[in-house]
Every structure is written in C-alpha cells, then in structure tokens.
Amino acid sequence: MPEATIRFHAPTDPGTLRRLLSDPAFVAGNVPQVVGVEKTSETTARWTVQIKIGPMTRKSVYDGELVEATDTLVRFRATGPEATIEGTVSFAPAPSGGTEAELTLSMKGSGPLRAVLDAYLGKRVREDAEKFAKNVEARVGSSPPTTA
C-alpha cells in the first residue's frame, strides 16, 4: 500500500484542528483529487474523486468517514471503486503556538486494475500528502482560531 508521512504546522490550537479534521467534508476539501463533497452525517460524506491517469480521466463516488477522533489523533478513510484512501493526523501543541501535526496518508488500489493503480498512487501519495497539509494550513490560517 503506497504511503507517505509528512509533518506540518497548523496555525490554530489542537482542539480546533481536531474539530475541523473530525468533519468529513472539511477533510475531503483538502484532498487534491476531490472535486465535490456531500456531507451525509456528522461522521460521513460522499466524495466525488477525479483521477487522471495519462489520457484517461475518471470520476467516481467514494464513501468518506471519520474513523477515530481523540485529543491527539484523527483517522479518516474514503472507499471507492478504484481505491481506498486512509489518513491519520496526530498532533500536539507547538511550543511557539499553533499545532505541530504529522499526517500519514495511504492509498490502495482495488479492482481489476489494482496493480496499475498502486503504481500510479505510489507516485502520487507524497505529493498528495504535501498538498493536503498545505491546504489544511491555508484553510485553518484563513479563519480565526477558536477553542473546542
């Protein structure tokens, strides 16, 4: 299963980051290939994922869910016809303010094209993890910090 782990700084307190990352629509909005999201409950959402491999582009619906949320960790998963995307974000207060976070993102192909998809996802997972972190940093930094 292709996987990447990166560290990033969120310009908000850990409680606010946990609250935001516990929202499956917020999480989906930070995943690079997600082009649409519909929240279906407090812990689930339908993600419209667009994958482009060479000349082929495919849109699919993935079922996104909050798997776990604690004071120091949030886990999410989205499952679709081509792949499963899983993420774990652990976090702690940063000495200089805000939150230090570590994201582990994994992607696993499924179906008859699994081998092709795993090769593609293996090349993308680090880039997608970095984009996810930058998106979170930007979105969290654009709203005033709140406490949970």
Residues 67-93 have pLDDT tens digits of 999 999 999 999 999 889 999 999 999
Model pTM greater than 0.75?
A: yes
Nearest of 8, 14, 11 to residue 148 by alpha carbon: 14
Are the C-beta atoms of residues 117 and 2 closer than 8 Å to each other? no
What domains can you pick out in the chain, each with its CATH number? 3-141 (3.30.530.20)
